Each structure stands twice: as C-alpha cells, then as structure tokens.
Amino acid sequence: MKDQAERLRLIAKSLQEKIRNQIYNNMKTCRVLAVTSGKGGVGKTNLALGLSLALARAGYRVMILDADMGLANIDVILGLIPKYNLAHVFRGKKKIEDILQPGPAGLQIIPGSSGIEELANLDPLALTKLLEEISAFNQKLDYLFIDTGAGISRQVLAFILAADEVLLVTTPEPTALTDAYGLIKVFNRHQGRGKLRLIINMVTNEQEGREAAEKLSRVVQQFLNLEIEVAGFIPCDTTVQEAVRRHQSYMLAFPRAPASLSTIKIASTIGELAGESPRGIQGFFKQLVAFFQSKPN
C-alpha cells in the first residue's frame, strides 16, 4: 500500500516536472537583435555574422536575417548564392523553410529582400498564415539577428523600432560618431522601445574605444537625456578582411585573433543579459507590418 502511494507520488512529481518544462519551453522567446549603424562600412555585416557565430558555437540556436541590400552582405561573405528570398515568401511562392540557407556552426540565414515593405500589402489571410509560420520559429530559436543597411531609411527604421535590442556599430572616427548620434536621435524621436547598445569597431586600442564611447554617451546624455550602454570594443584587425577574401567569417577562419576574441566577449555579455522582455519573432513581424502600414512621418 505504502509502495503504491510512493509510486503515485513519483508519477505525479515527474508529470509536474514535464508540465513545468513544457511551460518553460512555450514561454521561451527568441530575442530579436538589430545590428545597425549611422555611417556605412563600419563593420555591421561582419559583426552581425561574427556575433551570430560566437553564440551558435556556444550552443545557442541562431538565425540571421540578411536585410542589408548593399553589395558586401552576408551571402557574399559566406559565398552563398541564394535562389529565393523573403519576397518569394511574401508572394506565397515559398515557405520560410524553403528559403533558409544553412550557414556554418548550425547558423541559419534568411536572405532578405529589398521589397520588405510588401508586408504592408499582404491580404489579411496571407498575413495570418505568414505570422503562424513565423511563430513556429519562436520556440526553435534563441536569437534572430538582423543585419540592416546603413543610415536611416524607412526600412532600417522599421527594423530598429521592431527589434527587442539594437546594437549600434560605429568606429571612433568623428564622422561615424556624428552619424551614430543622428541615428540615436531618430530612434529616440520615434520612441524606440528596444535597448540600445553601442559597439565601437576598428579601434587601435581599448583606450581609443573608451574615449569614443564616452564622447558619444556624453552628447546623447546632454541633448537627448538618454543613457546608452556600451557592449564593447573590437580592434582593427586585418584577419577580418583576410577572412572575407576567403569567403568566411573571421570568427571561424581566425578564432584566436584579436577581433574574434573581442567578439566572443561581446557575445557572452549579450548572452548573459536575460533579454529585456523580448516579444519574439511574431511580435517583431507584427510591429514591422504595423510600421509599414502607417503613414511615413
């Protein structure tokens, strides 16, 4: 009798555990991070890829949306030739799974499309279907990185306003810092909700990075009354360009080089932060749609 009671107690306990895990898994929400910059050519694409790979190698499930329609984007760096992109999904020609490109270390890449604003014109049924498809990814992923283009186009603005977190890349150059300030100003004017963090790339030494970050933080504090966090510094390192020539990311081609070590440090900082109430991929796309459906101002 006593044995039976004990068995029942154990079964109940294991069931409880199962349910707890299920709840945890259902609640687990993917963090959406947009990597952006004011000035072009400051290293967004390389860093978005480097950070994604650092997290993927640490065991996280990571996807990267290649939303930069410029020349040297993620597919070029990795030597990929995607046949389909998001536009095919919006037109109902392909499913998201069909357009995903497998990258190194289990990383998955979504080829973007310059016609992302098509989202606003989808009929409600197609949109609901797309959102359902997207929400299935929410539990399959820990991070979605978005490599945006430079500057403040409507498309970039849509991405940085919809993301949970924004990584703003700049170099210590005065022109890059000025453009970074311009982007923060617009982000603030549109009441961006995501946490904004600064990465200073191509620094000669940490001191230079620190000074540049302080300069920008001071102006942002003084004129916008905003605190801006610094995620870290990445040194100027020729292995970044050398890896691109080999159609690889520096993170994998030169894992022990200074740029890679600094990237790992930033990735682990990002990983340690619990994420500020992420709304998941579905929340991100819903906000994108709402933005594109709204009138430009």
Ligand X SMILES: Nc1ncnc2c1ncn2[C@@H]1O[C@H](COP(=O)(O)OP(=O)(O)OP(=O)(O)O)[C@@H](O)[C@H]1O
Binding stretches for ligand X (CB under 6 A): 37, 40-46, 68, 70, 72, 149-150, 201-202, 234, 236-237, 240-241, 244, 259
Q: How far is the CB of 246 from ligand X (least distance, A)?
A: 12
Q: How far is the CB of 85 from ligand X (least distance, A)?
A: 17
Considering the complex, state which of residue 41 and residue 106 has its C-beta at the smaller distance from ligand X.
Answer: 41
Residue 138, contacted partner among ligand X, Mg ion, none, CB below 5-8 A by kind:
none
- Over the window 49 to 88, marking each residue x when it contacts Mg ion by CB under 5 A and - when it does not, the resulting string is -------------------x--------------------
Q: How far is the CB of 78 from Mg ion (least distance, A)?
A: 13
Contact 160, 191 (CB under 8 A): no
Considering the complex, state which of residue 73 and residue 138 has its C-beta at the smaller distance from ligand X.
Answer: 73
User: What span, in angstroms and rounded, lies between the C-alpha atoms of 262 and 130?
Assistant: 37
Considering the complex, state which of residue 46 and residue 108 has its C-beta at the smaller distance from ligand X.
Answer: 46
Size of the site for Mg ion (CB under 5 A): 3
Instruction: Please tell me whether residue 237 binds Mg ion under the rule CB under 5 A.
Output: no
Give the amino acid at 187: F
Residue 216, contacted partner among Mg ion, ligand X, none, CB below 5-8 A by kind:
none
Considering the complex, state which of residue 14 and residue 241 has its C-beta at the smaller distance from ligand X.
Answer: 241
Contact 170, 209 (CB under 8 A): no
Q: How far is the CB of 21 from ligand X (least distance, A)?
A: 39
Find the binding residues for Mg ion in span 33-52 (CB under 5 A): 44-45
Q: How far is the CB of 73 from Mg ion (least distance, A)?
A: 6
Interacting residues toward Mg ion by CB under 5 A:
44-45, 68
